[in-house]
Amino acid sequence: MLLVIDYGRGNLRSVEQALRRLGAPPRISSDPADVAMAGRVILPGVGAFGDCMDALRARGLIEPILDHIAAGKPYLGICLGMQILFNESEEYGQHKGLGVLPGRVIRFRLPGGGPLKIPHMGWNGVHHAGGEEARRLWEGIPDNEAFYFVHSYHVMAGRDGDVAGLTNHGGEFCAAAARNHVYGVQFHPEKSQNAGLRLLQNFIRNG
């Protein structure tokens, strides 16, 4: 079963429509039992990091998600769904994440403190990085292909090997992450036309 987790704030319908276009209609659920049964899980996320973690906790979803990942079953986090994989975020205070991958989430800022357009919004190229896990994610997608972004905070990965894609906005940042069968993308594949559909297809087939 392909499951899209509903925690009350995600961009569910766009993701569902994209998956249906690929012939892979998902179940959308906030039931922890469905997470436990799922073969593949997608967590789309919008909004604030702390609110997302609170909503997952209130629905009893954190432990099932961690158990799913620990069992080696594929997980794809989109936007905020990627960010919560890491240890913590500074968005509106300090908030703990799932801690699946080492690293933290910080607000965009230039090294010299100069002006930088925030949020980072629109189309931007993604440079491929990482190892075999990343290659499974990017299969059939050209290097530096453009994807659609909208976010004000980004991941600082604690381990270079977890970085699967890099994008530049005031400097390079982690636009995708991959380790074993855990994947995260900061951009929105469901809004990224053919390249985004191919990435979702790669997750379904290769994840």
Q: Do the Cβ atoms of 100 and 62 come closer than 8 Å?
A: no
- The Cα 19–Cα 156 span in angstroms is 29
Q: Do the Cβ atoms of 108 and 154 come closer than 8 Å?
A: yes
pLDDT tens, position by position, for the chain (207 residues)? 999 999 987 678 899 999 999 999 999 999 999 999 999 999 998 889 999 999 999 999 999 999 999 999 999 999 999 999 999 999 999 999 999 999 999 999 876 666 688 899 999 999 999 888 899 999 999 999 999 999 999 999 999 999 999 999 989 999 999 999 999 999 999 999 999 999 999 999 986
What CATH class is the domain 2-206?
alpha beta
Helix (H) or strand (E) holding 184: strand 182-185
Q: Do the Cβ atoms of 189 and 21 come closer than 8 Å?
A: no
Q: Where are the domains of the chain?
A: 2-206
Residues with catalytic function: 79, 188, 190
Helix (H) or strand (E) holding 19: helix 12-21
Report the C-alpha dihedral over residues 19, 101, 85, 170, rounded to 10 degrees.
-90
User: How confident is the model at residue 46, as a pLDDT?
Assistant: 85
The residue assigned the tokens 């659609």 is: 148
User: How confident is the model at residue 120, as a pLDDT?
Assistant: 94
Residue 115 CB neighbour total at 10 angstroms? 7
